[in-house]
Structure 1
Amino acid sequence: MANVAKGFHKLFNNFRTPDGTDIEELFLDHADRVSSPLALAMLAQMGLTENTNTPFTLFENAAGVGVVAHILQRTVKAEVLGKSKIICGDSSEQVLGFATNRSEKEKWVNTEVKKIDAEKTGFDNGTFTHVATNLGFHVIPDSESALNDAIRILKPGGVLGLTTVHRDVAWLPEFREAFKSFPFEAPLEMGLQTTTWGNWSDVNWIQKTLEEKGLEEVNVEVFAWLNRMDSVDYFLTSYGMILDIVMDSCWSKELRKQHPREEVHGLVKAFLEKKYGDKGWNASWIGVVATGRVPI
């Protein structure tokens, strides 16, 4: 698990695509297809929708390309947005660059993009009315410190919103099936959680933890949605980097030498082409949406 976590941390801070695909375009595509449906559900549960009439101050934690900010710019009334404040923070300068480009292109209102460590944000106590973390806590190295700090920077009565992945989703079942079809034994020992603290796929654990942290009106829901895979090539472009992490983290040097990356990617591609042909398919995702309120 430690090697997998290091692999993901490296990936999150220096994304590269082996086939030369525009990484920014890939991130924005993933945001639209995967992250946005879950973020919409989280914001609705937090009470931030097109019906919101009260100005707010929101911190989008582990923001990536600014999925939450993007949605708020499109849904919240202009007069409310004009009196509100949004800060998008992430530790990766690369994805922050993508968020900055997006904010300038879409002319985001009252929104700041800046480098922020989720485990120690540096904000004063009680700075925000809302803190939203979309698909973050299960991969933040010290997720307990990040959770504590997210709660600390909320005003009395402020709302915490978070989402995580609930079960094996999208790419992992496909890789698992493909590996079983290989003409050699191929280890696949990885989960969707890389932080060592807690169980971010367990709705009961999340409910109990948020209550133990002092939040009120805790609501934890399971949310399922579909993500379209246009083709086998699209799937491998989107998730091939994760396949590389699996090989680097779970396979011995000898096994990687015997079966290099090109061979493994080719075997996965052949398996998927046999399974799906030249057609696309819908991949299923199951996530957790949780909210809670700081006591007044």
Structure 2
Amino acid sequence: MAKVQEELGKMFKTFGSDFDDERLEKFIEDSERIMRRPAELLLRQAGLDTSLSKSFSLLDHACGTGPIAAHLQANVHKQVLSQSRMLCADISDNLVNTLRRRAEKHGWISVETAVLDAQNSGLPELSFSHITVNFAMHVIPEPELVLQEAMRLLQPGGTLAFTVWHKNNLGWVPDMASSFAALPFEAPMPSPMPMAPNGKTEFIDPDLIPGQLRGHGFDDVEVKTVEHMVRVESADDYMRKFEMMKEWMIQAYWSEESKEKAKGMLHDYIVRHLTEKHRGQGWDLSWKAVLVTCRKPKN
């Protein structure tokens, strides 16, 4: 499990760092198709939606390419945004730089960026009315430390909101698994795919999450499971969207011999397999996410 988590961390730190503006925009667009809808639902559950009429101070940990900030910029009144503060932070300076480029290009309001560890940010206590962590509590090595840090940073009555993939999520996995199984050499991939690379399965099970939060002093816990479909237009489209996941599987599970055999043929082989599997048509991927909100007690 440690190697799986280590390889995923490497991907986040380097993937897309050499993209030009056009390819970066496409990468963000592909990411938004998967991340934006859960982000919208999470923010609505946290009270950060179009009805918001007063300013807020938000720390968006594990900000990635910025689905949380993007949704707020598009849906919260500009006057409220101008009086608010959004600190978008990630442990990957690569992703922070990506979000910064995006914010500057689109003229986002009241957005700051920082490279921070959600387990120990070093920020002043009682600094924020809201903290979000979008699809990272199942990846961060010690999510319990994130809860402790959130309790320290939130103002009394403040809200912590996070998403994780459900323990039974499928998404990109079935098509990658069938593609690997069709290869003419050993191409291992775990079955079932572990949805918690950090091994903390209590953070991807909606029945166990409330106990984690209450054990760290939070109340008003609300946990919802949602499903959404993401359209894949073609086999090439699938490969572009999930290139990072493919590389993650290869680096985490394949032998050096298999990696050598895959050189120069893997992309085309998988595209042919998926084109035949889906009869040359596009298809839908089913995703299952868990939306979690809770509050720091007022007293």
Query: In structure 2, the residue corresponding to 1:217 is in which secondary structure?
Result: strand
- Aligned partners of 1:289 and 1:224: how far apart in 2? 11
After TM superposition, the structure 1 stretch with the greater mean CA deviation from structure 2, 205-214 or 34-43, is 205-214
- Aligned partners of 2:172 and 2:156: how far apart in 1? 40
After TM superposition, the structure 1 stretch with the greater mean CA deviation from structure 2, 286-295 or 159-168, is 159-168
Task: Name the amino acid aligned to 1:87.
Answer: L
Task: Name the amino acid aligned to 1:283.
Answer: L
1:13-68: CA deviation from partner (whole Å, max 9, x where unpaired) = 00159999955224311332011100000000001111111211111111012211
The 5 A counterparts of 1:234-245 are: 234-245=237-248
User: What stretches of structure 2 of length at least 5 have no aligned partner?
Assistant: none
Runs of 4+ in 1 over 6 A off after TM superposition: 17-21
Do the aligned partners of 2:91 and 2:118 also contact (CA within 8 Å) in 1? yes
Do the aligned partners of 2:17 and 2:94 also contact (CA within 8 Å) in 1? no
Do the aligned partners of 2:169 and 2:289 also contact (CA within 8 Å) in 1? no
Specify the alignment match of 1:124 in structure 2: 124
User: What stretches of structure 1 of length at least 5 have no aligned partner?
Assistant: none
Specify the alignment match of 1:162 in structure 2: 162
Tell me by how many angstroms 1:143 deviates: 2.1
| Aligned partner (choices 193, 196, 217) of residue 193 of structure 1 | 196
Specify the alignment match of 1:266 in structure 2: 268
After TM superposition, the structure 1 stretch with the greater mean CA deviation from structure 2, 40-49 or 176-185, is 176-185
Give the TM-score normalised by the residue count of structure 2: 0.92
- Aligned partners of 2:2 and 2:127: how far apart in 1? 34
Task: Name the amino acid aligned to 2:24.
Answer: E
Do the aligned partners of 1:131 and 1:154 also contact (CA within 8 Å) in 2? yes
Distance 1:27 1:144, change over 3 A: farther
Give the TM-score normalised by the residue count of structure 1: 0.93
Tell me by how many angstroms 1:148 deviates: 1.9
Tell me by how many angstroms 1:268 deviates: 2.0
- Aligned partners of 1:274 and 1:12: how far apart in 2? 31
State, as a whole percentage, how many aligned pairs show the same letter: 30
1:82-123: CA deviation from partner (whole Å, max 9, x where unpaired) = 221111011211111111111112211111112111111111
- Aligned partners of 2:60 and 2:294: how far apart in 1? 16
After TM superposition, the structure 1 stretch with the greater mean CA deviation from structure 2, 18-27 or 285-294, is 18-27
| Aligned partner (choices 250, 261, 270) of residue 247 of structure 1 | 250
The yes-or-no answer on 1:276 pairing with 2:278 is yes
Specify the alignment match of 2:179 in structure 1: 178
Specify the alignment match of 1:144 in structure 2: 144
The yes-or-no answer on 1:222 pairing with 2:250 is no
1:160-185: CA deviation from partner (whole Å, max 9, x where unpaired) = 00001113322111112223333444
Instruction: Tell me how large the CA RMSD over aligned residues is.
Output: 2.1
